[in-house]
Structure 1
Amino acid sequence: MSIVILFITVWYLSLFAQTFFHHRYASHGAFTMSKGWERFFFIFTYITQGPHYMSPRAYAIMHRLHHAHTDTELDPHSPAFSSNLLSMMLRTRRFYCDVVEGKLQVEKRFMKNLPEWKGFDKWANSTPSRILWSVAYLTFFFIFATSWWMYLLLPVLLALGAFHGALINWFAHKYGYINFRLKNTSRNLLFIDVLMLGESYHNNHHKRPSAVNFGKRWHEIDPVYPIIRLMVWMRIIKLSKLSVAPAENIVHLHTDKH
């Protein structure tokens, strides 16, 4: 039971860090926060993502490239250029490593307003850090696992961020429904998204990249949106103008495209 509780807890907390900090804040600037709160969420991300920590800076660059070059060969994670889900994940990993290591030449327009904490980010993204987290997870499983099948969850936990990304980047460009006819293959994967915290409303997101609420229709509940409104009320964050602008007035924050 402890293993299942750990899996569910890490699934949602690490996903919250990704959609709130990496995606809506770092990639699209849907809201702003002070440098102190930014560093708090760096630490929160590290604690919740652990062995699958993703650099907010690298994630933001890759995601901006995804919006600018959707469904083309320059898209870091387009299923159109991979034969299967695993090959897309490996291709995305190569893009990520090239961004982190500075091997990928990135246009200046994708480098604006990125979250920066170089020393912390370097450690959190390092091999020793990932090894320590992996040992901690393995120890937890060794102590609390009561059946062999529970160990099948361990590799998923160790690479959970990649699984989260792959679920959307593969399936939400192949299956689902659309609210907006766009010049890309983005779709809304789930009618009610309690599994991906609003991330599966991918077609909506490609229409309004900087919108703070990923839901559009009455049944499209974005579980993160009420939390964001609470943080606004608590003055932890401040919504940007783009996040609440009418759809017809939206211009992408970092590119000229949706």
Structure 2
Amino acid sequence: MYNVSKGWERFFYFSTWFTQGSSFLVPSAYGVLHRMHHEYSDTEKDPHSPHFFKDIWQMMMHTAAVFRNLRSGKNLPDPEFTKEYLPKWSLLDGVGSSMIVRIMFGISYFMIYYIYAPSAWWYLLLPIHFLMGPIHGAIVNWCGHKYGYSNFKNGDHSKNTTPWGVVMMGELFQNNHHHDKDNANFARRWFEFDMTFQIMKVLHAVRIIRLVPHAQRSAHVHNNHVKAA
């Protein structure tokens, strides 16, 4: 969808780890999962289709198992899912995925609540902070393939879940995304709005990223620029 210099890639990579904290997901492994999801959408090979599980928890556990196997090398992906660029930072991947660092982030979240929470009820929000990354992914993949309407016939169960597609920064316009996965704008109709795309346009305007013209998105990237996963 866009090109970014190596320096900015490292900046966003670090920011991803720092903001995800205890639920940090290694970008290269997540990129493989995402590519598999598009290739095998809503089939038994899909790592997180809701149509093969009784509830969202079972889907999350299955996705986590596939993710761990990819990270450990027990289940290496087919070459087609890794042949294009996937961002890697081995040191940060190892540190960010370590249990001690996850626990440290969890303790820091707890301390913020300990200092500022006006009542004990607020502590019920802590599990969301601990697992925000997987929870967000589960919501997008469960709801985005079960509830809503379709603009396109993609051969799968992908849906546009309005108005939550707007609230989730465009992520729940899954039917649109599966129809044209290289299009940075997930919105298609007048009442659909993708805030993430608007942010990307600003980043493009100030030359932090360079959006690739839709007709050229499959072109190779040269020099000191890399293709974002």
**TM-score, normalized by the shorter chain, greater than 0.5:** yes
Gaps of 5+ in 1: 1-29, 254-258
Residue number among 80, 101, 123 corresponding to 2:95 in the alignment: 123
Aligned residue type for 1:88: M
Count of residue correspondences: 218
Matched, 1:167 2:127: no
What letter is aligned with 2:139?
A: L
Secondary structure of 2:162's partner? coil
Identity of aligned residues (%): 39
Task: Check the 8 A contact 1:191/1:219 in 2, yes or no.
Answer: no
Shift of the alpha carbon at 1:74? Answer: 1.1
How far apart, in 1, do the equivalents of 2:135 and 2:66 lie?
A: 16
CA–CA distance in 2 between the matches of 1:81 and 1:192? 23
In the alignment, is the contact (CA less than 8 A) between 1:192 and 1:220 conserved in 2?
Answer: no
Q: Post-superposition shift, 1:123?
A: 0.6
Aligned partner of 1:229: which letter? K
Matching of residue 218 in structure 1 with residue 197 in structure 2? no
Cα 1:193–1:173 shift into 2, 3 Å: closer
Q: Return the alpha-carbon distance in structure 2 between the equivalents of residues 74 and 113 of structure 1.
A: 22
Once residues 92 and 144 of structure 1 are traced to their aligned partners in structure 2, the CA distance between those partners, rounded to angstroms, is 34
In structure 1, what is the equivalent of residue 76 of structure 2? 105
Once the 2 structures are TM-superposed, how far is the Cα of residue 148 of structure 1 from its aligned partner? 2.1
Out of 118-127 and 200-209, give the one that drifted further. Answer: 118-127
Report if the CA contact (8 A) 1:192-1:221 is conserved.
no
**Which residue is equivalent to 2:179?**
207
Instruction: Find out whether 1:85 has 2:56 as its counterpart.
Output: yes
Distance 2:165 2:186 in 1: 10
Matched residue, 2:14: 43
Contact 2:166–2:192 (CA under 8 A) maintained in structure 1: no
When the two chains are superposed, the root-mean-square deviation of aligned CA atoms in Å is 1.7
Q: What is the Cα deviation at residue 139 of structure 1?
A: 1.0
Aligned with residue 130 of structure 2, among 151, 158, 163: 158
Q: Structure 1: how far apart are the matches of 2:124 and 2:58?
A: 21
1:250 to partner: Cα distance: 8.4
What amino acid is the match of 1:164? H
* Partner of residue 138 from structure 1, selected from 107, 110, 116: 110
Aligned amino acid, residue 65 of structure 1: M
| 1:150 to 1:133, Cα distance in 2 relative to 1, 3 A | same
Give unmatched runs, 5+ long, in structure 2. Answer: 221-229
Change (3 A) 1:90 1:192: closer
Determine helix, strand or coil for the equivalent of 1:32.
strand
1:125-171 CA distance string (max 9 Å, x none): 11111011001011111111122221110001100111111111111
Q: Secondary structure at the match of 1:194?
A: helix
Q: Which residue is equivalent to 1:74?
A: 45
Contact 1:33 1:237 in 2 (8 A): yes
